[in-house]
Amino acid sequence: MENVFEILRERGFIRQSTNPTEIARILSEERITYYVGFDATAESFHVGSLVPIMAMVHLQRAGHTPIAIIGGGTTMIGDPSGKTTMRQLLLRETIDANGDGLLSQLKRYLDFGEGIGTFLNNADWLLPLSYIDFLREIGRHFRVNEMIKAEAYRQRLEREEGLSFIEFNYQLLQAYDFLHLFRHHGCVLQLGGDDQWGNILAGVDLVRRLEGRTVHALTFPLLTTANGEKMGKTATGAVWLDTNRTSPYDFYQYWINVDDRDVKRFLACFTLLPMDEVNRLGELKGDSIRKAKEVLAYEVTKLAHGDVEAENARSASRGAFGDGDIDLSAIPTTIVDADRLNGGIPVVDLFNEVGLGGSKSAVRRLIQQGGAYLNGEQINDTNAILTGEHLDRGALLLRHGKKHVHRVVIE
RNA sequence: GGGGAGGUACUCAAGCGGUCAACGAGGGCAGACUGUAAAUCUGUUGGCUAUUGCCUACGGAGGUUCGAAUCCUUCCCUCCCCA
């Protein structure tokens, strides 16, 4: 069997781990159960979550059994790690609904078949806990002295916002998760973002104290773009896996637009292409690196949304930026009533309605700055009214700056 | 519980009775240059039925004043010191 640990290392997934030699050994000699916890703060993942997801995929392909945990219980507390302010507390119903959304997305990457993979909600065992029992069984194993020295808490303690008691408990609950999964599912490895290191180790310690067994921890580097920004953030907000929030076309475009310096890392981390191929593409320089970006965008979109959507996004992207007018059907489209168009629609309104701009004032500014286009022609008049005369093959092609296009189809 | 300091737009941070839709920096967006990249330069960055106009905004609610982000009252919240 190929050594997954080596694969993960080579592809840039490993930041810190407890005993690397031992982890490498059990990963190549045994079939183990591992887990990753996900916050249930939204009903969709965004591209940042792809790091743990892809790591889980590699491990499952190597024959290990994933447990994906939705933090239905822990999200009710809110993890202070890496957060400068306290999180908003969410309602139980919201958290449950979020969990459903996340599961459906995970299913595209992981096999949750009988005995192959599991999806659990930690609300199932955290919510019924009794406060006193929990403190007596679990709480006594935690030293406050140590906890407040941990980076995650220290940052917050030093900042003005401080730290509330509810958040301070987060680590205990996450540690308890690991213990629970060890006891009931034989889980011996937890993976997570590097900001989770302290929380994960707390679980490792807890298992050792209560069960006398050694379990393992492994963290991923916190992936940032070459500019030092958090992954997946754009002006419009995060880049989501949910097609209602981020269309496959926009998703594809996100990857096309990554910084040159990120291409190789991203190929290794977010695609399943063999490393030879990754290295070859990663070496491309200058103009030709766009080919590598196209491969990156295509592969990542394919994993997230399937072949068909990936194909469509690719041809739409080529159509919008290349010279030929190829298939534009995958470009985000809005349908407008023919009668309404014949009555005349102010350009400003139309841009605003399809989501190119943000507000009418913003669209006016855009036009004044020469960044608004209709069917490839710059728009000069903020008061322009669109009618049927402006149709180009039954549609209007709106463009915001160089990169954002939207089609308006008339019916 | 006692004492002190604060809450300003996406973020940090000025302003401390009119000239404040609110300095400055970061970020965002657009333009030039380019390769749908980066860097650089320029412009822009509350909304609107808007050519010098109107509306909403400086934690919430009231008040003083011709006029408040700026003064007063009260409430909420945060931080620091003491208990």
pLDDT tens-digit map of A180-218: 999 999 999 999 988 889 899 999 999 999 999 999 999
- Judge whether residue A85 has pLDDT over 60: no
> Which whole number is the average pLDDT over A244-256?
90
> Which whole number is the average pLDDT over A249-264?
91
pLDDT band, residue A283 (cuts 50/70/90): very high
pLDDT value at residue A165: 82
Q: Which two tokens stand for residue A230?
A: 């958090």
- Judge whether residue A256 has pLDDT over 60: yes
pLDDT value at residue A327: 62
pLDDT value at residue A357: 80
Give φ, ψ of A182 to 5 degrees. Answer: -65, -45
Entry pTM: 0.88
Q: Give the nearest nucleotide to A294, CA to C1'.
A: B36
A274/A357: higher pLDDT: A274
Q: Give the nearest nucleotide to A164, CA to C1'.
A: B78
**Taking a C-beta distance cutoff of 8 angstroms, is the pair A199, A18 a contact?**
no
> Which whole number is the average pLDDT over A11-32?
95
| Residues 6+ positions from A238 with CB-CB distance below 8 Å | A46, A47, A48, A232, A246
- Judge whether residue A7 has pLDDT over 80: yes
| Residues 6+ positions from A18 with CB-CB distance below 8 Å | A201, A204, A216, A217, A218
Q: How far apart are CA A28 and CA A117, in angstroms?
A: 18
Q: How far apart are CA A173 and CA A181, in angstroms?
A: 12
pLDDT value at residue A163: 76
pLDDT value at residue A83: 53
The ipTM, to two decimals, is 0.85
Lowest average pLDDT, out of A149-163, A224-238, A357-371, goes to A224-238
pLDDT value at residue A94: 79
- Judge whether residue A380 has pLDDT over 80: yes
A82/A61: higher pLDDT: A61
> Protein A404 CA to nucleic acid B60 C1', in Å?
40
User: How does pLDDT run across A22-41, given as a tens digit for each residue?
Assistant: 999 999 999 999 999 998 87
At position A189, the amino acid (one-letter code) is L
Q: Give the nearest nucleotide to A262, CA to C1'.
A: B37
**Taking a C-beta distance cutoff of 8 angstroms, is the pair A67, A203 a contact?**
no
Burial grade of A137 (CB within 10 A; 0-12, 13-18, 19 or more) = middle
> Protein A54 CA to nucleic acid B76 C1', in Å?
45
pLDDT value at residue A219: 95
Lowest average pLDDT, out of A228-242, A275-289, A356-370, goes to A228-242
Query: Looking at the C1' of nucleotide B46, which residue has the nearest alpha carbon?
Result: A361
> Which whole number is the average pLDDT over A385-397?
85
User: What interhelical angle do A263-270 and A275-283 show, nearest 10?
Assistant: 160
> Protein A164 CA to nucleic acid B62 C1', in Å?
32
At position A286, the amino acid (one-letter code) is G
- Judge whether residue A80 has pLDDT over 80: no
Lowest average pLDDT, out of A43-52, A128-137, A164-173, A221-230, goes to A221-230
> Which whole number is the average pLDDT over A38-57?
90
> Which whole number is the average pLDDT over A135-146?
89
- Judge whether residue A230 has pLDDT over 70: no
Query: In which residue are the tokens 């350009």 written?
Result: A347
pLDDT value at residue A160: 59
What pairs with residue A224 in β-bridges?
A230
Query: Looking at the C1' of nucleotide B6, which residue has the nearest alpha carbon?
Result: A160
> Which whole number is the average pLDDT over A349-361?
87
Lowest average pLDDT, out of A121-130, A219-228, A304-313, A342-351, goes to A219-228
A316/A177: higher pLDDT: A177
> Protein A400 CA to nucleic acid B50 C1', in Å?
23
Lowest average pLDDT, out of A85-99, A113-127, A253-267, goes to A85-99
Between the ranges A109-123, A217-231, A372-386, where is the mean pLDDT highest?
A109-123
A279/A71: higher pLDDT: A279
Positions of strand B less than 7 angstroms from a protein CB: 28-31, 34-39, 43-50, 78-80
Q: Give the nearest nucleotide to A253, CA to C1'.
A: B36
Q: Give the nearest nucleotide to A84, CA to C1'.
A: B11
> Protein A228 CA to nucleic acid B13 C1', in Å?
22
pLDDT band, residue A87 (cuts 50/70/90): low
